Amino acid sequence: MIILTLMAITTLGIIKLRNLFSVVVLSSIYSFLMATLLLIFDAVDVALTEAAVGAGVSTVLMLTVIYYTKTTEEEPKHSSIIPIMVCLAIGGLLIYGTYGLPPFGASDTPLHNHVSAQYLQRSIPETGVPNVVTSVLASYRGFDTLGEVIVVFTAAIGVISLLKKDNS
Amino acid sequence: MRLDILLRISSKIFIPFIVIFAFYVQFHGDYGPGGGFQAGVIFTSAIILYTIIFGSTKALKDFPEWIFHLMIPLGVIIFAGTGFLSIINGFNFLDYDALAHYPKHGQHIGIISIEIGVFVTVIGSMVSIFYAFVNRGKK
């Protein structure tokens, strides 16, 4: 709860501030808080990724981008009432939707009873890998992970061809 | 340049540990948290730290850009190659039981092999994107 409150305060800061350098630093802080939250949920692999990518590498990339542009954001030209209304409506709908979810930590939900239980039971006898996250990612869902690697590959090729300086 | 001696010495001490931690996350991924993607990003952060502290000219000389450009497709080839190796041995695509006589050993070899593929692609693309931004500043 404390971490969620801190995240909300950070988000308000990101919205309010016009200095882009502070915004980047605040989004880095937001990523660290998110990583802490994932750690509390025992999702260590995701927390590690969030800390390394969200707080580390993407902050450096955004700082590099700011170096080539202006460091202050311009004042919005239009009134921001309609976006605020849309955000409040969608946020309210999402909060209303959470009342339909099963209680936090319940073990009889569909999520825990179909494939997850199978993975937890069969990971050690079939693959001998104690970290179930790795055995699911690399072995049971190897083809999905190949797709993810190809997504990274395609994204990198795209960014490089966009940013490459013309040698001609 | 002389004023940042503290930063340069401390980063010289830190960078080997960051690289070792990246390899720990890489090869310990079967037993603890982590894997190729996380290890690749940690390794990238070591190179980014080196570039920030020692300047882009020196970094581009020590770690030339073409290596990282080569690493992007190389990782995909390692990953897909592991899959095709299973097909050659008469199993399904990416069925690691094919890679050793005992299925569990095959699973271990397969997982390590594809994690190396992920690691190589992630380092290649992350550093290439970073270098692309760095090079853009040089007019």
b/e code A43-72 from CB counts within 10 Å (16+ = b): bbbbbbbbbbbbbbbbbbbbbbeeeeeeee
> Per-residue pLDDT tens for A25-80?
999 999 999 999 999 888 888 888 888 888 888 898 888 888 888 778 777 777 88
Of B107, B1, B112, which Cα lies nearest the Cα of B55? B1
Distance from CA of A44 to the nearest CA of B (A): 6
> Per-residue pLDDT tens for B71-115?
999 999 999 998 888 888 888 887 888 777 787 888 888 888 888
Query: Which helix (DSSP H) or strand (DSSP E) does residue B116 occupy?
Result: helix B103-137
Task: Tell me: do A2 and A70 sit in the same domain.
Answer: yes
Q: DSSP characters for A127-138? A: H--S-HHHIIII
> Would residue A100 count as lying in a domain?
no
Contact yes or no for B41/A61 (Cβ under 8 A) = no
> Which amino acid is residue A88, in one-letter code?
L
CB spacing of A45 vs B38 below 8 angstroms = yes
The model's pTM? 0.84
> Would residue A168 count as lying in a domain?
no
Which one of B14, B24, B121 would you mutate to disrupt binding with A, by most A Cβ within 10 Å of its Cβ?
A: B121
Residue B37 DSSP class: H
**pLDDT at position B138, please?**
65
**pLDDT at position B18, please?**
92
Looking at per-residue pLDDT, the higher value among B48 and A133 belongs to B48
Q: DSSP characters for chain A? A: -HHHHHHHHHHHHHHH--BHHHHHHHHHHHHHHHHHHHHHTT-HHHHHHIIIIIIIIHHHHHHHHHHHS-SBPPPPSS-SHHHHHHHHHHHHHHHHHHTTSPPTT-SSSHHHHTHHHHHHHHHHHHH--S-HHHIIIIIITHHHHHHHHHHHHHHHHHHHHHHPPP--
Interface of B with A in 84-103 (CB under 8 A): 93-94, 96, 103
Residue B99 DSSP class: G
Average pLDDT over residues B120-136: 88
∠ CA B60-B62-B63, nearest 5°, is 65
Q: Where are the domains of chain B?
A: 2-137
Interface of A with B in 28-87 (CB under 8 A): 44-45, 47-49, 52-53, 56-57, 60-61, 64-65, 67-68
> Would residue A98 count as lying in a domain?
no
**Set of chain A residues whose Cβ sits within 8 Å of the Cβ of B31:** 129-131
Interface of B with A in 20-79 (CB under 8 A): 25, 29-35, 37-38, 41-42, 44-45, 48, 52, 69, 72-73, 75-76, 79
For B61, B74, B130, the CA distances from A61, given in Å and listed in that order, are 21, 24, 7
Please state, in angstroms and rounded to a whole number, the distance separating the CA atoms of residues A20 and A69.
10
Please state, in angstroms and rounded to a whole number, the distance separating the CA atoms of residues B108 and A8.
43
pLDDT above 80: residue B136: no
Q: Look at chain A and report how many structural domains it folds into.
A: 2
Q: Is B97 helix (H, G, I), strand (E, B) or coil?
A: helix
Query: Domain containing A20: what range?
Result: 1-74
Last residue of one domain, picked from the residues A74, A94, A122: A74
